[in-house]
């Protein structure tokens, strides 16, 4: 980011009062932690900024993800971790539906408290190898018979363990929407409700909060559209050159990493760095 | 169809000079032949009307499909059968690409004469159980690296052997388009070129030809948009009540079956029935 733009940005957002962090591609790169990630969170919290983790990753349960972060020195309370399954569960309970799950086997535990029988709603996440013709067709047939359609995310891609981009849940959401004519209800980012639940848990106003992510659609444009004050795109994870020009509104800032994002945020929160 | 509308239709299209027939859902219901299908084709041909078969089915090779039709008493020459693989092969040869196939194993023989190596283009059909996360992800990664994307069809559904609708190729075309940002080139119906190749093989003008199908999008609206004179929707195969009101332009007529369609066409070709 050029100095001028950064300066202008800092002037506009001098009082950041809370931070939302994406996990995969911002703190983690596949299974490994990105340099300085744990220290960045400590610095933000030491500066009095509450931090919440907002992830669309659905290949792990919330418990597994928290454990994984802790194993990398990133202390996270379960209440500070926002993942789409919990929001979908709340919807299912409120509306009296049992989930027909098209999700990764590791995510199933997050639906343990839902109804086991009764009218069903199709719930789709990043099921990975559990996406087969037969599992997709079974979900399609439920939708055809009128089942509601709950999408935990609609991200296009994620950075896979081999360093390349891979298909994320969004592709399969699109496939089922196209064939069934049923529009999915989205529970993860960029759902406004999802962002705002994390913001409210900090006792902050959305426009005093900054979001940091590597997905220019879900994390950046999505956050800004939800009313989040600023959104920083990091050039790690799934970021590819030119991503920042693909969306409207564009990122508030584009930085190299969580470390640079942290420096920028601390400057934004304390009248200059 | 009400008598008035049928009469008006016949008056508008008195001189049908050629017939395009969809196969699956019009002549065949899964593996079985629909009542009177073979006799209908004989009647049309006896009346001097050339008949061509235009199918988006890609779970069988052209050779297998012709054999299957013959086993049900429907005489079809390979030249009279239009399937998308041949059109895609011609494109691949002309443009110097080797196919990366995401198709049903039985369809692979239709690509035997294509290049085996060199720059590749992704070709997708109704791969059925060959649609796995890994096969879709491999195709996605080719598209990401700039491979052209060839879709043999983009139908939403087909009537499966158990009598229910199942996911067709279109859902997976949508999935890959969404994730990769690459728009597919379509080779089957409702591609205009595909319809017109069949029309030209009869030495007819498009507006003297009638199309009969059970897919209101690909067969009916697609044919009319391609300039085919009339399109009859049959209430067999994947037809579901109300389909005719889902598209623009709407079907020229909606009839119970290939038998009723044949009676209507013979009326349209001979100044009254």
The per-residue pLDDT for range A96-147, each reduced to its tens digit, is 999 999 999 999 999 999 999 999 999 999 999 999 999 999 999 999 999 9
User: Residue A27 in contact with residue A21, Cβ under 8 Å?
Assistant: yes
The number of angstroms, rounded, from the C-alpha of B46 to the middle of its chain's C-alpha atoms is 24
Structure tokens at A29: 């790169």
Nearest CA in chain B to A181: B156
What tokens were used for A42? 């400590």
Distances (CA, A) of B101 to A3, A60, B119, B133, B176: 49, 32, 13, 15, 14
What's the pTM? 0.90
Q: What is the pLDDT of residue A160?
A: 93
Measured from the Cβ of residue B71, the count of other Cβ atoms closer than 10 Å reads 10
In A, residues 167-206, which contact B (CB 8 Å cutoff)?
A: 167-168, 170-172, 174-176, 178-179, 181
| Contacts of residue A123, Cβ cutoff 8 Å, sequence gap at least 6 | A88, A92, A99, A100, A101, A102, A103, A111, A150, A152
Which of B129, B134, B171 minimises the CB distance to A176? B171
Does A167 contact B129 at a Cβ distance shorter than 8 Å? no
Query: Of all residues in chain A, what percent carry a pLDDT higher than 70?
Result: 93
Q: Kindly indicate whether the domain formed by B84-186 is annotated with CATH number 3.40.50.1000.
A: yes
DSSP B80: G
Residue B126 has pLDDT above 50, yes or no: yes
**CA-to-CA distance for B143 and B126, rounded, in angstroms?**
18
Q: Tell me: the pLDDT tens digits for A216-243?
A: 999 999 999 999 999 999 999 999 999 9
For residue A175, give the nearest of B130, B164, B171 by CB distance.
B171
Confidence of residue A5 (pLDDT cuts 50, 70, 90): low
Contacts of B131 in chain A (CB under 8 A): 132-133, 136
Please state, in angstroms and as integers, the Cα–Cα distance from residue B34 to each residue in B1, B95, B257, following that order.
20, 40, 9
CB of A156 less than 8 A from some CB of B: yes
Candidates B42, B113, B43, B98; CA nearest to B73 is: B42
Classified by CATH at the fold level, domain A3-54+189-269 comes out as Rossmann fold (3.40.50)
| Residue A121 backbone dihedrals phi, psi, to 5 degrees | -120, 140
Does residue A135 sit at the B interface (CB-CB below 8 Å)? no
Query: Which residues of chain A are within 8 Å of residue B157 when distances are taken between CB atoms?
Result: 179
Residue with tokens 């013709």: A133
Residue among A14, A38, A49 at smallest CA distance from A202: A49
Contacts of A46 (CB under 8 A, 6+ apart): none
Closest residue, chain B, to A157 (C-alpha):
B179
Option in B127, B137, B164 nearest A166 (CB): B137
- Least Cα distance to B140 among B173, B95, B107, B99 occurs for B173
Where in the sequence of chain A do the CATH 3.40.50.1000 domains occur? Answer: 3-54+189-269, 84-186
Of A120, A117, A116, A112, nearest in space to A86 by CA: A112
pLDDT in tens, A263-273: 999 987 754 44
Output the average pLDDT for chain B.
93
Q: Which of B132, B171, B175 sits opposite A132 (nearest CB)?
A: B132
pLDDT-based confidence at B77, cuts 50/70/90?
A: confident
In 3-state terms, what secondary structure has residue B130? helix
More confident call, B268 vs B46:
B46
User: Hey, which CATH number is domain B3-80+189-269, 3.30.70.590, 3.40.50.300, 3.40.50.1000, 3.40.50.620?
Assistant: 3.40.50.1000
Report yes or no: A202 and A54 within 8 Å, Cβ to Cβ.
Answer: no
pLDDT band of residue A4 (cuts 50, 70, 90) is very low
User: What whole-number distance in Å separates Cα of residue B57 and Cα of residue B214?
Assistant: 13
Mutation pick from B127, B130, B172, B241 vs chain A, by most beta carbons of A within 10 Å, is B172
Mean pLDDT of B206-225: 97
A47 touches chain B (CB under 8 A): no
Q: Is the pLDDT reported for residue A12 higher than 60?
A: no
Interface confidence: ipTM more than 0.85: yes
What share of chain B has pLDDT > 70, as a percent? 93
> With an 8 Å Cβ cutoff, are A174 and B172 in contact?
no
Q: Where do you find CATH 3.40.50.1000 in chain B?
A: 3-80+189-269, 84-186
* Cα dist from B218 to A22, B69, B82, B120, B141, whole Å: 42, 21, 14, 27, 28
Which among A165, A171, A181 has CB closest to B178? Answer: A171
Whether B8 has a pLDDT exceeding 70, the answer reads no
- Cβ of A178 within 8 Å of Cβ of B156? The answer is yes
What is the helix (H) or strand (E) element at residue B234, kind and residue range?
strand B230-234
State whether residue A12 sits within 8 Å of chain B by CB. no
Q: Kind and range of the H or E element at A212?
A: strand A209-213
What lies within 8 Å, CB to CB, of A35 at 6+ separation is A257, A259
List alpha helices for chain B, DSSP H.
3-12, 37-46, 62-71, 84-95, 133-144, 169-180, 192-201, 222-225, 258-269
Is A3 a residue whose pLDDT tops 70? Answer: no
The residue count for chain B: 273
**Once rounded to an integer, what is the mean pLDDT over residues B136-160?**
97
Count other Cβ atoms within 10 Å, centred on residue A47. 14
pLDDT confidence of residue A144: 97
């Amino acid at each position: 980011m050029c100095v001028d733009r950064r300066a202008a940005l800092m002037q506009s957002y001098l009082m950041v009062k809370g931070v939302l962090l994406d996990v995969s591609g911002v703190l983690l790169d596949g299974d490994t932690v990105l340099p300085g990630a744990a220290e960045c969170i400590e610095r933000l919290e030491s500066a009095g900024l509450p931090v919440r983790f907002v992830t669309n990753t659905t290949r792990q349960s919330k418990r597994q993800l928290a454990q994984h972060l802790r194993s990398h020195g990133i202390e996270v309370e379960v209440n500070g971790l926002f993942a789409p399954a919990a929001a979908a569960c709340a919807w299912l309970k409120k509306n009296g539906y049992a989930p027909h799950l098209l999700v990764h086997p590791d995510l199933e535990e997050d639906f343990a408290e839902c109804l086991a029988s009764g009218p069903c709603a199709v719930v789709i996440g990043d099921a990975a190898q559990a996406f087969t013709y037969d599992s997709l067709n079974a979900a399609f047939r439920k939708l055809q018979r009128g089942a509601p359609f709950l999408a935990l995310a609609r991200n296009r891609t994620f950075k896979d363990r081999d360093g390349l981009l891979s298909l994320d849940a969004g592709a399969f959401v699109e496939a089922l929407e196209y064939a069934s004519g049923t529009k999915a209800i989205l529970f993860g980012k960029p759902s406004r409700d999802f962002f705002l639940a994390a913001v409210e848990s900090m006792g902050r106003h959305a426009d005093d909060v900054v979001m940091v992510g590597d997905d220019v659609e879900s994390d950046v444009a999505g956050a800004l559209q939800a009313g989040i004050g600023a959104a920083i795109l990091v050039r790690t994870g799934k970021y590819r050159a030119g991503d920042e020009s693909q969306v409207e509104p564009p990122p508030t800032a584009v930085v190299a990493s969580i470390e640079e994002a942290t420096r920028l945020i601390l400057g934004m929160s304390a009248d200059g760095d």
